[in-house]
Amino acid sequence: MHAPDDHESAYAGLLVNDAHWAFGTDFEDPLAGVDTTIPDGVDPAVLARYCLALGDDALVLSHRLTQWCGRAPDLEEDIALANIALDLLGQARLLLTRAAAADPSCVPALPEGSPVPAEDALAYFRDDRDFGNVRMVEVPNGDFAEAIARLLLFSTWRLALFEHLAGSGDAVLAAVAAKGRKELTYHRDFAGRWFLTLAQGTEESRRRLLDALAGLWPLWPELFRTHPVEAAAAAAGVGVDPASVAAEVDAVLGQVFATCGVDRPEAAPLAGVAGRFGRDGAHTEALSLLLAEMQVVARAHPRGQW
């Protein structure tokens, strides 16, 4: 049976003899040797909900990027987007696993004897109102410029968060952030280079990029709203208040925009629903459609082994 705090299964088969690979593999478990006990004074429910929020951001954007598979402008970009999607999926897996370990009551109940691990139960058996992702990651894919603009905004924000999260009082979150920083640095670099290329490429590429940015801009302020769970996690020394990284994120973005000759769009923030936002489980219709596609097979086979 799968223990809720067993992070090693993805690596178990890869950490043994890999001499048959020509280049060698040398995979590492990012959580090897990490203390998985919950730090004193931290409310496990707060830690779990905080991990779920960060994990859901990664999970949902990962799925949006996965939808690019086979559709990118060329083979190399197709693989690049798939790599980024896999990085985010890996972050989601570790964060959902941590959420389940901290507070098993957040994991949906499955039929007796189901072999589905806790992080899969969280990913595939929760409804949209239980997802805590920001709405920017769930809006449907547009063109390639939209994928680049969204990835630039998201990775710039998340990298700043993770830089601080690497000092988390929770050793697991700190390890996840330390691993994620390297990945997000690449994502931001990738998106930034393409942002520049599209902004200064042709009239058409620039028009598409500016359209995409304008479309995403109303969703941007939501990433810096402080949800009570984030405030509580920050106060307990395990999380980062997103409002606290707003200035540094804006400075980085300002540099990219200045280099690209792009102005910040002027658009009013997308309102919440009765004061509730993505972190509260109030989502756009796009998320339920995305989840319907992502979850249908797992839900049809709750005893399935994958």
Partner 1 sequence: MSERETSPEWPLYEVFVRGKRGLNHVHVGSLHAADDAMAVLHARDVYTRRNEGVSVWVVRSEHITASSPDEKDPMFAPSGDKVYRHPTFYDIPDSVPHI
N- to C-terminal Cα separation, the chain = 14
Q: Is the alpha carbon torsion for 259, 87, 42, 36 positive or negative?
A: negative
User: Distance between CA atoms of 137 and 60, rounded to whole angstroms?
Assistant: 6
Task: Work out whether 83 is an interface residue with partner 1 (CB under 8 A).
Answer: yes
**131 vs 144 by CB, closer to partner 1:** 144
Between CA 28 and CA 212 the distance in angstroms is: 37
In the complex with partner 1, the residue whose CB is nearer, 200 or 244, is 200
Q: Which stretch binds partner 1 (CB under 8 A): 33-41, 51-59, 76-84, 89-97?
A: 76-84
Positions in 132-191 near partner 1 (CB under 8 A): 189-190
Asked whether position 24 contacts partner 1 by CB under 8 A, the answer is yes
CB of 149 to partner 1, least distance (A): 18
Q: Which is nearer to partner 1, 162 or 190 (CB)?
A: 190
Residue 74 as a binder of partner 1 (CB under 8 A): the answer is yes
Which residues inside 203-222 make contact with partner 1, applying CB under 8 A? 203
Give me the residues that bind partner 1 (CB under 8 A), please: 21-27, 74-76, 79-80, 83, 189-190, 193, 197, 200, 202-203
